[in-house]
Amino acid sequence: MTAPDRSNSPESVSSASVGIDVSKASLEIALIGPEEETSASHTVPNTEDGFEKLIGWLEKQTDAGLEKRPEQVHVCLEASGGYQHPVACFLHERGLLVSVINPQRTSSYADSQLNRSKTDRVDARLLARFCKKEEPRRWEPSSSEQKSLKELTRGLDQLKKERDRLNNQIDQSENPTVTGSLESVLESINEQIDRLEEAIDQHVESSNTLARNRDLLETIPGIGQTAAALVLAELGNHERFESARQAAAYAGLTPAHHESGSSVHRKPHLSKVGSSRLRRALYFPAMAALRCNAAVKAFGDRLAERGKEDMVIIGAAMRKLLHICYGVLKNQTPFDASLHPGN
């Protein structure tokens, strides 16, 4: 069973929509045919053997189980702490159109449908309906190089958090024995941080693509070696985004507005529905860019003149900086301030 080669969003053709509610042990599957009243459900283990059974069941349903054979099958899964990744990769390799959805999107959709029940089967059918109605964009698995980079940078992030926690404990400790023990552990953590930073640098250097993209990002004032590696790790393949705005939305850096009638007008704020790690990766570089990057500084100055608060300016600078990163990577050309006016 295959799906036609398409770009980022499904075309309006006869399709079956499949929702898969993923848990550590099992996959609850719901299928809605081209005619929405035709549906079926099934459960398989979340294992390689279960994936084969899933494919067999889908083929049986689309070949004979539905009144109208669909031209394509679109599968939607929620991001479930990594449990969805093996089956998503398996289905992608089999040629199906796969979308991995932010759980907040399906939660909002469930609220809009006045969905009051919460079971695996109900969740799977909700995903199938969401898949048919919203036609979410195609998911592409990360390359092995980028996946390894993400694991390395996230490991480094955890070690740095542990370092900060230990430093706080040392500052608060009044017992010399406890302080000495904590300092010994801190010394070991710092050594591990140095090793991981070296491993990240070596990993990037071993890949022509990662090395080239890192060098391009480092031409942007405000983006240093560490920030470049973090952006590459968390942004992934920039080609999966059609625009810089989509990349910013992925990072949760687009403004969210709240207005109702003539009396409710709350201040816009960052949506924060997206990659918190990518936002964190851009925070300090954005502050540096507001000082040393002509394009970002001019943008920040304009916002300051309009009376915007400091955190609003930093958030906007993070978004501007991500737009610049996207443009540099997409065009494969070094940063040019003249191409990024401060607006």
Per-residue pLDDT tens listing for the chain (343 residues) = 544 444 444 444 557 899 999 999 999 999 987 766 557 889 999 999 999 999 999 888 876 555 555 567 899 998 877 788 899 999 988 888 999 888 878 887 877 776 666 788 888 999 999 998 888 888 888 778 888 999 999 999 999 999 999 999 999 999 999 999 999 999 999 999 999 999 999 999 999 999 999 999 999 999 999 999 999 998 877 777 778 888 888 888 876 543 434 444 445 555 555 678 889 999 999 999 999 999 999 999 999 999 999 999 999 999 999 999 999 999 999 999 888 776 5
pLDDT of residue 36: 63
pLDDT of residue 38: 59
**Residues 18, 55: Cα–Cα separation, whole Å:** 12
Selection from 82, 20, 62 nearest residue 45 by Cα: 20
DSSP state of 186: H
CB environment 138-160: b (16+ within 10 A), e (fewer): bbebbeebbebbbebbeebbebe
pLDDT of residue 121: 86
**Residues 126, 31: Cα–Cα separation, whole Å:** 10
**Residues 118, 342: Cα–Cα separation, whole Å:** 48
Q: Is the separation of the CB atoms in 337 and 299 below 8 Å?
A: no
Tokens of 294: 């002509």
H helix or E strand, kind and range, residue 317: helix 310-331
Tokens of 312: 């609003």
Q: Is the separation of the CB atoms in 76 and 18 below 8 Å?
A: yes
Q: Is 174 exposed, middle or buried (0-12, 13-18, 19+ CB in 10 A)?
A: exposed
Q: Is the separation of the CB atoms in 28 and 80 below 8 Å?
A: no
pLDDT of residue 343: 59
pLDDT of residue 339: 80
Tokens of 284: 């300090």
Place of tokens 């992934």: 236
Q: Is the separation of the CB atoms in 146 and 232 below 8 Å?
A: yes
**Residues 22, 1: Cα–Cα separation, whole Å:** 22
Q: Is the separation of the CB atoms in 326 and 253 below 8 Å?
A: no
Region of 34 please: left (phi>0), alpha (psi -120 to 50) or beta.
alpha
